[in-house]
Amino acid sequence: MEVTLISHTLEPESVVAAAARLSTSSVSATQLKERLSPQRVQRLLDNLIAAGHLSPFEHASFTFAIDGISRVTSHQLVRHRLASYTQQSQRYVSLGQLEYVTPHSIARRSDWEARYREAIEGVHRLYCDMMEAGIPGEDARYILPNAVETRLVMTMNARELMHAASLRLCLRAQWEIVQLFENIKIEVRKVAPRIGDELKPKCFHMGYCDEAECCGLMPKLDGKGAVR
């Protein structure tokens, strides 16, 4: 898996801070942005997050090149609808050489890893045979497994990134999408460290766990709404 931040709002944290200040200011956002010191920007972001006033974060966006995730994970990722995606097409891109993801639970057991690899390679041979026989790629792809690697470009604003990370960095999320958002967090922190720090499981924000099954990292919320 490789995640690269290929574009982002220029000075994203200053833009968020200026947008927040604009609602109670008589001057333009341009002037506000020029006047805001780095320390003032950080204090404003802290206050916005503490107050739950997150709409200004929608003005900062981040675009990522994501390579080498499985179709399992890309299907989960695109459920976050407040984002833009462009994904490599299995209809137009011939998969003559198949790259695929092997879960750790399979890879660490040599007998099951061998059977897993054999099954995927067998399906790939059939796929290639169908392509050579003139079956359209858009039809031959029907047999490809969810393990097949894919590439995509994703653009998401900071508020939605915070929301998506709150769900996908939960220890009960599937391992591959947890790894994906850990890599996204690393990339965001390079250009917006305060926003990057806020990419964390929702229980860190709430102080408790509201999942049906709890990992034990935070106290559990019982059926009566009390933390225990």
Query: Which residues are designated catalytic?
Result: 168
Question: How many helices (H) and strands (E) in the chain?
Answer: 11, 4
CB 186 within 8 A of CB 143: no
Rounded CA gap, 177 and 185, in Å? 12
Cα–Cα dist 146/115, whole Å: 16
Paired with 85 in beta bridges are: 154
**Secondary-structure breakdown of the chain: helix, strand, coil percentages, each rounded to the nearest 5:** 50, 15, 35
Q: Distance between CA 177 and CA 168 in Å, rounded?
A: 6
Maximum distance among all Cα pairs of the chain, rounded to whole angstroms: 70
DSSP 80-144: --SEEEEE--TTTS--SS--B---HHHHTSHHHHHHHHHHHHHHHHHHHHHHHTT--HHHHGGG-
d(CA 134, CA 146): 23
